[in-house]
Chain A
Amino acid sequence: MSGPVTGQLEQRKRIRKSAIAFALLALGFYLGFIALSVYRSRH
């Protein structure tokens, strides 16, 4: 297959961005619940 056409490049960018966004969201839940537990332990 020759190199990706413009549409495919845009699709790849979208895929990369949304994958990173969901990974950050998961990280947020992980750290968020630990932070909540720290808060709860101190109050």
Chain B
Amino acid sequence: MAYASADHAHDDHHDQPATGIKRWLFTTNHKDIGTMYLVFSLIMFFVGGAMALVIRAELFKPGLQLVDPVFFNQMTTNHALVMIFGAVMPAFVGLANWMVPMQIGAPDMALPRMNNFSFWILPFAFTLLLSTFFVPGGAAAGGWTMYPPLVLQGGDGFPMLIFAVHMMGASSIMGAINVIVTIMNMRAPGMTLLKMPLFCWTWLITAYLLIAVMPVLAGAVTMLLTDHFFNTSFFNAAGGGDPVMFQHIFWFFGHPEVYIMILPAFGIVSEILPTFSRKPLFGYDSMVYATASIAFLSFIVWAHHMFTVGMPLAAQMFFMLSTMLIAVPTGVKVFNWTATMWRGSLTFEPPMLFAISFLFLFTIGGFSGVMLALVPADFQYQDTYFVVAHFHYVLVPGAVFSIMAAVYFWLPKWTGHMYDMTLAKWHFWLSTIFVNVLFFPQHFLGLAGMPRRIPDYSVQFADWNMVSSIGAFGFGLSQILFAVVIIKCVRGGQKATDKVWDGARTPGLEWTLPSPAPYHSFQTAPRVD
């Protein structure tokens, strides 16, 4: 592929951003909105991380140490909600805002005003969610899954939680519509779908997942609301309803949600590994088809989250086998990434380090996922720390590491400065060591029978809990380095070249732009041959 040069300069009155607070409140620029999403996500990452540290501090020793059990349960519940809806998802939307238009040669997102709206909903949603800690009855404490009947026993915080979830859903749906419409309508001439960068592909598929399942979550919580306030009995057994139906509906959203948090990560890793291997991505087409297969399969596996509620044997078999089937396209991806690196001219800059760490550690999370898919084994693992270890391996060294890799990959393009490589490598090594110290022992605890979501535990679990808590504090403190690297880079540093990385994908539109990327890019669409 080759690109005709494009005129990036543009001299109308929109060329420069507004000044002061107005720039951020009223902006319709994809780069500004992307920045706001990323900053918001980083703040939420620290808020959710602080909650995690309360949990791990309490679990440092057996016995009740620091917080009362209700507050502990509020921490587990809100840690999950904040990390999923406040940190990981907005981070990926922020990355999509920055990179999708630049990668497809579009001047901006297709629906810029809706883009602004979908961001600004989030601070209100999370203010509402976090303010539930200060109302009578306190914050939700029944788990992020909001299972009835427990969640219906909440106090004044309950309707606030439901409204906050609705707002997060609306924001996500609008973001998803924007991504789909942008990719389908605004690609540069000549950029066919199968010429798109993998990050755009994975985001396109993620956006379809979001549109399909976020309304399902909204529907489920709306029914919780009517059960609580309007005497309906969707999930109330006393009124003829069925609490298990909530679990089915919730996980019909919840499992695709897992892939919403990991497919963009696959796209990021598929951008980074070829760059630092100085080779094209191995098996591009199969990567696209594998992503689509994973997305399809994500809709037919939901009941593996609830094997122990009781279901017909045929249903157990179906959900077990369909779940195990996901290992096939995922295996294709892991194989392709490995083959991309094979005999490449590898260098180990921070994005590459995080991407390789992702490859190993996400695969560990994938393996424990296959173990959990086995019905008889799951009966043992259900609600133990083995599950906690599994999904944290998928989400922390999986999704979160991919976000860090993406930031280290594209930060020079955004700011025009190279960052402090030494500090970033320290951040990587400390994060990778501590994330394993934190989560690997949780496998042992789970296999030994330690239940999740409890503030106290039997004394035989003491040693590994102490190790896990040390890992948590080490991991948490290491993230301060991440913030320091970013702030230093934004404030200045060695000038970045346009291409930034010498191995950057040659047919890559984002690398044809100057560093920092101009406020308006691709006013004239580039031509992709």
A15-B220 in contact (CB<8A): no
| Least distance between A29 CB and chain B CB atoms (Å) | 4
Taking the closest CB of chain B, its distance from the CB of A20, in whole angstroms, is: 9
Q: A34-B222, A37-B219, A41-B242 are contacts. A11–B185 as well, Cβ < 8 Å?
A: yes
The answer to the question of B64 belonging to the interface, with a C-beta cut-off of 8 Å to chain A, is no
Docked-complex contact A26 and B234, CB < 8 angstroms:
no
1/0 contact string of A1-17 vs chain B (CB within 8 Å):
10000000001001100
Residues of A within 8 A of B241 (CB): 41
- A24 to B216: give the CA distance in the assembly, Å: 14
Residues of A within 8 A of B234 (CB): 37-38, 41
Binds A, one of B173-181, B198-206, B480-488: B173-181
A-B contact count, CB below 8 Å? 70
Complex contact B218–A37 (CB within 8 A): no
Pick out which of these stretches binds chain A: B148-156, B207-215, B332-340, B469-477.
Answer: B207-215
Interface size on A (CB < 8 Å)?
A: 21
Cβ A19 vs Cβ B219 within 8 A: no
Q: Is B310 an interface residue (CB 8 A)?
A: no
| Contact call B180/A22, Cβ cutoff below 8 A | yes
Which A residues, 28 to 42, have Cβ-Cβ distances below 8 Å to chain B?
A: 28-31, 33-34, 37-38, 40-41
Other-chain residue from A11, A22, A34 in contact with B186 (beta carbon distance below 8 A) = A11
Q: How far is A40 from B214 in the complex, measured between Cα atoms in Å?
A: 21
Residue of B nearest to A20 (CB): B177
Do A19 and B240 form a contact, CB below 8 Å, given A25-B211, A26-B173, A33-B215?
Answer: no
Q: Which of A1, A28, A31, A40 contacts B12 (CB 8 A)?
A: A1
**A15 and B181: CB pair below 8 A?**
yes
When the two chains form their complex, are residues A22 and B181 in contact, meaning their CB atoms are under 8 A apart? yes
In contact, A30 and B186 (Cβ under 8 angstroms):
no
- Shortest C-beta distance, B13 to chain A (Å), equals 9
Query: B300 in the interface, Cβ–Cβ < 8 Å?
Result: no
CB <8 Å contact, A37 and B211: no
Do the beta carbons of B215 and A29 come within 8 Å of each other? yes
Q: Which residues of A are found within 8 Å of B181, using beta-carbon distances?
A: 15, 18-19, 22
- Select one of B10, B211, B213, B222 contacting A22, CB under 8 A: B211
User: Across the two chains, which residue of chain A brings its CB closest to B212?
Assistant: A29
Which residues does chain B contribute within 8 Å of A27, judged by CB atoms? 215
In the assembled complex, the CB of A25 is this many whole angstroms from the nearest CB of chain B, namely 6
CA distance A5 to B12 in the complex (A): 17
Q: Cβ of B81 < 8 Å from any Cβ of A? A: no
* B-side contacts of A1, CB under 8 Å: 10, 12
**From B176, B240, B252, contact of A41 by CB (8 A):** B240
Q: Is the CB–CB distance between B214 and A26 below 8 Å?
A: yes
CB atoms of A37 and B111 under 8 A apart: no
Nearest chain A residue, comparing its CB with the CB of B210: A26
- In the assembled complex, the Cα of A30 lies from the Cα of B217 at a distance in Å of 8
Q: 14 A-B contacts, Cβ less than 8 Å apart?
A: A1-B12, A18-B180, A18-B185, A22-B176, A22-B180, A22-B181, A26-B214, A27-B215, A29-B211, A29-B215, A33-B216, A33-B249, A37-B249, A40-B245
A19-B110, A34-B222, A37-B245 provided; 18 other pairs, C-beta below 8 A? A1-B10, A11-B186, A15-B185, A18-B184, A19-B111, A19-B114, A26-B173, A26-B177, A26-B215, A29-B213, A30-B218, A30-B222, A33-B215, A33-B252, A38-B234, A40-B242, A40-B245, A41-B240
Q: Which residues of A contact B (CB under 8 A)?
A: 1, 11, 14-15, 18-19, 22-23, 25-31, 33-34, 37-38, 40-41
